[in-house]
Amino acid sequence: MSDTTNDYDQLRLQIPALRNSAKLERINKGYSSDAKYIVYDPQERPLCLLRTYSIEQDANKRLEFRALERMEEQGVRCSRPIDIGTLPDQRLGYMIVSYIHGEEASEQLPLLSVEDQYAIGVEAGLELRKIHRIQGPADMKPWQERAEAKHRRYRQEYAKCGVRIEHESAVFSFIDRHLPLMRDRPNRFQHDDFHTGNLVVASGKLSGVIDFNRYDWGDPVHEFLKVGFFSADVSRPFAVGQIHGYYDHSEPDESFWRLYSLYVAMTIVSSVVWILKVKPEELDSMLGKIYKVIDDHDRFELTVPRWYRADWQ
């Protein structure tokens, strides 16, 4: 028996909620520092999902656990919070949530009909609207103040990082002209990583939303930037459907697209800094996404991206 298997057995035995389980299977996906495991029953059926993390993160993880409870209260299709605790001897914290059956939408959508892809996008938009019902804390600083401060920090780091984006002057000019649009935008709960890699599909339907560990508070429109960076590349019908579902099958107005384009442009800057810190070996892949976004917006001469304008059916 391997040391890894022994470690997994120790986890199962030390966490009371897992003592009737049979085995753990490590999930090696994503950028989170959390360790993630599928927990199986003796019949090898998935029971739940276990996340472990440094015990120093316990306070923040309890806030995340409470956020999942609030999602459950709103009727969001997502992992249900089951248990949270610490293992002091191992300097670990743990969280247990329900297992959502299915496969990543990013893997399943290309296998489905255009109509089913669009319908799943509509479902995703409806779930996102539920997520955004929750108001931010009353004492939170205004969104514009927080977002501009973060952007200034990223801009300073970008200037020193040694990488230069083609057409950066057009990107920076667009950002600087449109920053005032963030004034008086609401602070709402944000999943903050809402894209096809964090959605689960089964039998041609949306099963649920996963991975709330990056949740934040801010402008709901900010949530849609991941559509342009990730989801539209996987499935344009899904991407269009998500927007239609969110807006109750209506077209968003021009103010949505101006804000969306601003947030996409700001994310071009932060993405370079972020990937160099977290996964520098994936810089070329990230630059490919960035140049696709710049092209979609014709160097930010367009606020409505080409993937939305074009015939997606």
Q: Is the pLDDT of residue 191 over 80?
A: yes
The confidence score (pLDDT) of residue 307 equals 96
Average pLDDT, the chain: 94
Give the length of the chain.
Answer: 313
Is 80 in the same domain as 143? Answer: no
Is 130 in the same domain as 13? Answer: no
Q: Is the pLDDT of residue 207 over 80?
A: yes
Strands 199-202 and 188-190, by their bridges, are unpaired
Q: Is the pLDDT of residue 50 over 80?
A: yes
Instruction: Decide which of 42, 70, 98 is a domain's last residue.
Output: 98
pLDDT over 70 percentage in the chain: 96
**pLDDT (tens digit per residue) in 131-162:** 999 999 999 999 999 999 999 999 999 999 99
Q: Give the residue with greater pLDDT, 13 vs 224.
A: 224
CATH code of the domain covering residue 122: 3.90.1200.10
Strands 103-104 and 92-98, by their bridges, are unpaired
Q: Is 219 exposed, middle or buried (0-12, 13-18, 19+ CB in 10 A)?
A: buried
Mean pLDDT score, 165-194: 97
The confidence score (pLDDT) of residue 2 equals 44
Is 75 in the same domain as 152? Answer: no
The model carries a pTM of: 0.92
Q: Is the pLDDT of residue 1 over 90?
A: no
Mean pLDDT score, 105-112: 98
The confidence band for 5, taking pLDDT boundaries of 50, 70 and 90, is low
Least confident of 7-11, 111-115, 230-234, 294-298: 7-11
Q: Measured between alpha carbons, how far is 313 from 302 in angstroms, rounded to an integer?
A: 22
| Structural domain boundaries enclosing 301 | 103-309
The confidence band for 30, taking pLDDT boundaries of 50, 70 and 90, is low
Is 157 in the same domain as 55? Answer: no
Q: Is the pLDDT of residue 252 over 80?
A: yes
Strand order in the sheet with 103-104: 103-104, 199-202, 205-209
Instruction: Decide which of 32, 63, 98 is a domain's last residue.
Output: 98
The confidence band for 9, taking pLDDT boundaries of 50, 70 and 90, is confident
Give the C-alpha distances (Å, rounded to integers) separating 108 from 112, 122, 183, 197, 235.
Answer: 7, 16, 39, 10, 10
DSSP string, 181-211: GGTT---EEE-S--SGGGEEEETTEEEEE--
Domain count, the chain: 2
| DSSP-derived secondary structure letter, 161 | S
The confidence score (pLDDT) of residue 4 equals 60
| DSSP-derived secondary structure letter, 55 | G
> Buried b / exposed e across 66-101, counting CB within 10 Å, b at 16+?
ebbeebeeeebbbbebbebbeeeeeebbbbbbbbbe
Is the distance from CB of 70 to CB of 132 less than 8 angstroms?
no
CATH code of the domain covering residue 33: 3.30.200.20
Instruction: Decide which of 98, 123, 152 is a domain's last residue.
Output: 98
Is 117 in the same domain as 253? Answer: yes
